[in-house]
Each structure stands twice: as structure tokens, then as C-alpha cells.
Amino acid sequence: MPDISILTTITPNHYLVLSACLFMIGVAGVLLRRNLIVLFMSIELMLNAVNLSFVTFSHSFGKVDGQVMVFFVMTIAAAEAAVGLALAVSIFKRFKEVNIRFFEHLKG
């Protein structure tokens, strides 16, 4: 009978691998998509993956330092989304499009 303890016993490793998968999906989104908004969403995915590993380490070491760091990351992420979307709006007003194909014309 094969060893199925990796399926039945959840270690911090499981959470870290899940976090790595989430991060990689975010990287794939940033590299492969061309819509600016979807790019921002992929960045949010990556930040969430980092938050997940912070919380995992905080839990496995029994300290709350990691959770405090998650607060800071969340605040920065919200600020980043606000600034990015404001940029997207002002770019959309000019180009009527948010595809990054047009962003090579940003310079005057």
C-alpha cells in the first residue's frame, strides 16, 4: 500500500506549496495577459500568496510577527490598486483602451 500520509497529514509545507502555486499563477498572469486591469489582478494574486506564506510561518513558529506584516502588505496592496487604477483611468481617457500594446506610446 502506498504511503498516503502526505495526503492525510497537513504540514506547513502543504500551505507553502499552495502559496508557491498561487504566486506562480500570478506571475503567469502578469507575463501572459495584456489587459492592464487583469495585470493588476495578477499582482493582487501574488501579494495574496505572500500573505499566505506569512500566515503559515506565523502559525508554525507560534508568533504574531508574520500577521502584523500581513497587515502592512494588505495596506500597501490596497494603495497600489488605487494608484494603479487611477493610472488606468487616465490612460483609458487618452487611448480608449487599456491593452498594454498601446503603452509604448506613453512618451509625449
Partner 1 sequence: MTADAFLFWFLAALTIISALSVILMTNPIYSALSLAMTMVSVAAIFVTLQAYFLAGVQIIVYAGAVMVLFVMVLMLFDLKHELQAFTRGRFSGAFKIASIGSLAGLLVGAMYSARINSALTESSIAANATSKGAITPLAEELFLRNVFGFEALGVLLLVIAVGTVALSRSKGGTHARH
Which of the residues 8 through 37 are near partner 1 (CB under 8 A)?
8-18, 20-29, 31-35, 37
Q: By CB under 8 A, is residue 67 in contact with partner 1? A: yes
Residues contacting partner 1: total by CB under 8 A: 75
Q: How far is the CB of 11 from partner 1 (least distance, A)?
A: 6
The alpha carbon dihedral of 93, 40, 101, 104 has a sign of positive
107 φ/ψ angles, rounded to the nearest 5 degrees:
-75, 125
Q: What gap in Å lies between CA 40 and CA 27, rounded to an integer?
A: 11
Task: Rank residues 83 and 104 by Cβ distance to partner 1 and give the closer one.
Answer: 83
Q: What gap in Å lies between CA 68 and CA 71, rounded to an integer?
A: 5
Q: How far is the CB of 104 from partner 1 (least distance, A)?
A: 14
Q: By CB under 8 A, is residue 87 in contact with partner 1? A: yes
Find out whether 77 and 47 touch, Cβ atoms under 8 Å.
Answer: yes
Cell triple for residue 20?
508557491
Q: How far is the CB of 26 from partner 1 (least distance, A)?
A: 8
Q: How far is the CB of 2 from partner 1 (least distance, A)?
A: 14
Q: By CB under 8 A, is residue 89 in contact with partner 1? A: yes
